[in-house]
Structure 1
Amino acid sequence: MPVIKILPHPEYAPQGAQVEAPAGTSICEALLDNGIAIEHACDMSCACTTCHVVVREGFASLNEMDENEEDMLDRAWGLEPNSRLSCQAILDHKDVVVEIPKYSINHAKENH
């Protein structure tokens, strides 16, 4: 079972975290199933960017991005070349390391 290592984030994982999830699971589902309450305002339908993550290791092991995800990512805060929407990033059999950006579009609108 692949392991997702989450780098420290002040709100979601202050000390960092590590979770396991079966291949075929989205990163967002895996985090939520393991008590890491990442934002997902559109209920994982690829209609917002609140679940944006940066994949620091294991990017190539994830499924390919479709055009809809690419279009949505253009709106994400802190976009990087290895950015993905965690609701669309499906785990394969390799471990990944993800960083949850400090802000999301929701936080920006709410002045957090």
Structure 2
Amino acid sequence: MPTITVLPHAELCPEGDVIEVAAGTSVCEALLDSGIAIEHACEMSCACTTCHVVVREGYASLGDPDEVEEDLLDKAWGLTPVSRLSCQAIVAQTDLTIEIPKYTINHARENH
């Protein structure tokens, strides 16, 4: 079973974490199921950028982002060439290492 290594994030995962995830699961779902409360203001419908992550290892194993995701990522804080919306990044058979950016552009946090 593939794993996702989550690099430390001061608020959401101070110590970092390594979680096992079934292939076919979105990175966002895996984080939420593991108790890492990543923002997802649009309820994982690919309509915002609050679940933005930087894929430090394993990026090539994820399917290519579609045009809608790419357009949204252009608005994400801390965008890198290996950024993805975690709600759209589907885990394959390869382990991933991700970083959750320090900030989002969500000015009004939802109660997730």
- Normalised by the length of structure 1, the TM-score is 0.94
1:53 positional shift: 0.2
- The one-letter code sitting in structure 2 at the alignment partner of 1:104 is T
Paired residues, what number? 108
The answer for the alignment partner of 2:93 in structure 1 is: 93
Moved over 4 A (4+): none
Q: What residue is the counterpart of 1:10 in the other structure?
A: 10
Q: What secondary structure, in the 3-state scheme, does the structure 1 residue paired with 2:88 have?
A: coil
Q: Deviations over 1:34-90 (max 9, x none)?
A: 110100000000000000000000000011110010000000000000000000000
Query: Where in structure 2 are there 5+ consecutive unaligned residues?
Result: none
- Residue 53 of structure 2 corresponds to which residue in structure 1? 53
Output the aligned Cα RMSD: 0.7
TM-score by length of 2: 0.94
Instruction: Please give the residue correspondences for 1:35-74 in structure 2 after superposition, counting only pairs within 5 Å.
Output: 35-74=35-74
Query: Partners of 1:65 and 1:52 in 2: how far apart?
Result: 13
| AA in 1 matched with 2:33 | D
